[in-house]
Amino acid sequence: MIRIMKYGEVRNEEIFARTEPAVNVEAIVSEIIENVKVNGDRALLDYCRKFDKAELSSLQVSEQEIQKAVASVEPEFLDILRRAAKNIRHYHEKQKRSSFIINEENGIVIGQKIIPVDRAGLYVPGGTAAYPSTVLMDAIPAKIAGVKEVVITTPPGKDGKINPVILAAASVAGVDKIFKVGGAQAIAALAYGTESIPKVDKIVGPGNAFVAEAKKQVFGKVSIDMIAGPSEILIVADGKTNPAFAAADLLSQAEHDKMASAVLVTDSMELALAVQQELEKQLPLLIREEIARASIDNNGKIIVADSITDAIAIANEIAPEHLELCVDNPFDYLDSIRHAGSVFMGRNCPEALGDYFAGPNHTLPTSGTAKFSSPLSVDDFIKKTQYTYYTKDALAAVAQDVAYFAKKEGLTGHARSAVIRTEENK
């Protein structure tokens, strides 16, 4: 049963504690990465046989497989995928940046170019669930950014096939290539390239502890979006909140993973007790009851604060991945929320809207990293190059200033490079 805590009567360390995975996968992942670097496709096929129990003749999904998968998906779901993609595009189009140029009258031109990365790799989890939503959320911003080639890796089933809904989403999102490989080995292949899988410049997408560790180890060889931890939801709710709604929303994240965190912060002990009971009613209704039960019992919390203002202060300290603001007039509180991946406003905005359909991205910072990081966006798939131009006269006007600055740092070569041109010009 979920625990109820009264803020101020228990230590902050207990309220803000996070259960961390006990397993250390660093050495295992390092070995996998080295094997893929050395043996390429052969290593990937061996891992597919070992971990996925699949015997593959080719790692790449063929166009025929994609077309067959799309044809097998219910037309109703295809329509939903397309409408979700439209919403995601509409939101992310607003994130596009423009290059700029500043022309000074004194012979100086400075500016910045916005350039998409050449190739992006998207990791899409498999295993216990299929996530076509991840395909849309990761691929569409990359395409909007102008990435030339968008590549997906995702683990196959024992039959060597990819879940058709994943392939349908990839088709809707305009993905260029799809490969049947998962786990740390997929991250290694994207980072270093193999005979079949091209090396990418950026890797994005969530995964298990092995995937997260692999992303950490290849960072620097390629760019990554973030090190994603288990899913999180924090609900700030007043006493008017329907306890059945709050419980359902908590379980929407608890069912992801036994390590997921579901937290309710409220100013009402009556609501806290009602939600506690409602969770027990709703848990048996879930297909993934065992997973959700472990999450609720081990990582779930209900924190009772003195006021909604205090509840928001607690939320800012926790810095959750998803924050639901279940109060009247939620926009009155929006400016007070400083640390959250994505905020869901009001009583009619379940977090599931953001997972699938509303438009804002669902790849979000976890484990308190919302204090310094942001949701996945078009910005993740671009880089910026700056440039500078000076005429002879413009350089002459500032050369001595540059040289003086350089000498203060003990860099006489820098100083000389600034003044030598003005001496030559004389």
Give the whole-angstrom CA distance, residue 286 versus residue 420: 75
Q: Judging by DSSP bridges, how do beta strands 108-116 and 382-390 pair with one another?
A: antiparallel
The residue count for the chain: 426
Q: Reply yes or no on whether 93 is catalytic.
A: no
Catalytic residue among 92, 256, 322, 362: 322
CA distance 59 to 153: 10
Q: At what angle do helices 392-408 and 412-425 cross, to 10 degrees?
A: 150
Cβ(6)–Cβ(304) below 8 Å: yes
* One-letter identity of residue 121: G
Q: Which of 122, 183, 193 is nearest to 376 (CA)?
A: 122
- Residue 194 and residue 45 in contact, taking contact as beta carbons nearer than 8 Å: no
The contacts found for 27-31 with CB under 8 angstroms, 24 or more apart, are 28/184, 28/210, 29/184, 29/210, 29/213, 29/214, 29/217, 30/217
Q: Any catalytic annotation for residue 321?
A: yes
Residue 30 amino acid letter: S
Amino acid at 182: G
DSSP state of 204: E
> Which residue is catalytic, options 232, 255, 278, 321?
321
Question: Token pair for residue 220?
Answer: 């620097």
| C-alpha span between 151 and 189 (Å, rounded) | 11
**Catalytic amino acids?**
321-322
